[in-house]
């Protein structure tokens, strides 16, 4: 009996396994935050590069998306390489992104006419492995669309950041719908730390890890991104005070 057919099947299976293993290794490339309180909560010790991640603003920030955009800018700044940023509303403030570590020379802006065109540009950008990150300000994100984005990110190893932004507060309920994103974050502005002299201190955020695939959810009080895209713990927390507020875990949805 001929064994050529079984051998060809085995060879094909081995080749397929090798491709899958290569992709899995590609996925394991991680971008850590550099803060143990956050990195130890994430299963891989940071954000997976070849994956889709969601960010939204909390409270009134769900509409203007300022804190969420700055958080995404800080992550993109630390990713290295060029960053593709897709928008439908041309109101990004470049100096603010630069203060979060993302210099104007690293960003390529794409202004899209509607959400459908934006998702198409988002997916196409994620297919390019030479980009450090692709950021897109999206209102609606279905499971089907997010799955396509996740697969595109997995294939290229490019970091995808979906900044959820809505025109009305009532639309923010869409953030509760399931998607294929690896992590889901909510960023809310907090009062800055009081200074001994008149002035405004470094902005603070309540950073909520709403969902982490195969991981826990948690809340963090952090100081906003510096000019290198790095977060920091408030001095009282870094010194060991109020430690219960750092990385407070909660049940996963």
DSSP string covering the chain: ---HHHHHHHHHHHHHHHHHHHHHHHHT-EE--S-HHHHTTSTTSSEESSSEEEEEE-TTHHHH-HHHHHHHHHHHHHH-S-EEEEESS----HHHHHHTT--GGGEEEEE-SSHHHHHHHHHHHHT-TT-SEEEEEES---HHHHHHHHHHHHHHT-EEEEEE--SSGGGGGGGGS--S-SEEEEEEEEPPPPPSSSS----EEEEEEEEETTS-EEEEEEEPP-TTS--B--HHHHTTTTGGGTTEEE---
Q: What is the pLDDT of residue 25?
A: 47
> Using an 8 Å Cβ cutoff, are 52 and 180 in contact?
yes
Measured CA to CA in angstroms, residue 199 lies from 181, 192, 232 at distances of: 39, 10, 20
Residue 95 lies in a domain: yes
**Which CA distances in Å does 48 have to 31, 71, 126, 239, 252?**
6, 16, 14, 29, 19
CB-count exposure of residue 55 (10 Å: 0-12, 13-18, 19+): buried
Q: What are phi and psi of 221, to 5 degrees?
A: -100, 120
**Assigned domain for 224 exists:** yes
- Asked whether residue 22 is assigned to any structural domain, the reply reads no
Residue 91 CA to residue 110 CA, distance in Å, equals 12
Instruction: Report residue 236: phi and psi, to 5°.
Output: -65, -35
**18 occurs within a structural domain:** no
Residue 27 lies in a domain: no
- In the chain, the number of structural domains is 1
Domain assignment present for 23: no
pLDDT values of the chain reduced to their tens digit, one per residue, 253 residues: 444 556 667 667 766 665 565 544 444 799 999 999 999 999 999 999 999 999 999 987 888 889 999 999 999 999 999 999 999 988 899 999 999 999 999 999 999 999 999 999 999 999 999 999 999 999 999 999 999 999 999 999 999 999 998 877 777 777 889 999 999 999 999 998 887 787 778 899 999 999 999 889 999 999 999 999 999 999 765 544 444 445 565 544 3
Radius of gyration of the chain measured on its C-alpha atoms: 20
The answer to whether residue 21 sits within a structural domain is no
Q: Which domain holds residue 141?
A: 38-250
User: What is the CB neighbour count within 10 angstroms for residue 198?
Assistant: 5
Give the pLDDT of residue 203.
92
CATH code assigned at 234: 3.40.50.300
Q: For residues 39 and 183, is the Cβ–Cβ distance under 8 A?
A: no
Rounded to whole angstroms, the Cα distance separating 142 from 177 reads 8
Backbone angles phi, psi at 244, to 5 degrees: -65, -20
In a domain, 55, yes or no: yes
Of 72, 87, 165, which Cα lies nearest the Cα of 122? 87
């Amino acid at each position: 009996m001929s064994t050529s057919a079984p051998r060809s099947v085995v060879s094909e299976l081995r080749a397929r396994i090798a491709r899958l293993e290569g992709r899995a290794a590609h996925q394991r490339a991680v971008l850590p935050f550099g803060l143990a309180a956050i990195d130890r909560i994430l299963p891989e010790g940071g954000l997976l590069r070849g994956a889709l991640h969601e960010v939204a603003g909390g409270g009134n920030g769900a509409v203007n998306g300022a804190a969420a955009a700055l958080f995404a800018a800080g992550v993109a700044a630390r990713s290295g390489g060029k960053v593709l940023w897709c928008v439908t509303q041309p109101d990004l403030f470049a100096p603010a992104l630069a203060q979060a570590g993302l210099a104007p020379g690293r960003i390529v802006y794409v202004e899209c006419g509607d959400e459908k065109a934006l998702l198409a540009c988002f997916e196409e950008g994620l297919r390019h492995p030479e980009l450090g990150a692709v950021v897109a300000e999206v209102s609606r994100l279905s499971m089907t669309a997010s799955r396509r984005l996740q697969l595109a990110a997995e294939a290229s190893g490019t970091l995808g950041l979906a900044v959820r932004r809505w025109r009305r507060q009532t639309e923010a309920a869409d953030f509760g719908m399931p998607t294929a994103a690896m992590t889901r974050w909510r960023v809310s502005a907090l009062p800055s730390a009081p200074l001994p002299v008149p002035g405004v201190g470094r902005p603070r955020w309540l950073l909520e890890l709403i969902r982490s695939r195969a991981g826990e959810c948690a809340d963090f009080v952090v100081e906003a991104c510096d000019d290198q895209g790095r977060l920091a713990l408030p001095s009282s927390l870094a010194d060991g005070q109020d430690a219960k507020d750092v990385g407070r875990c909660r049940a996963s949805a």
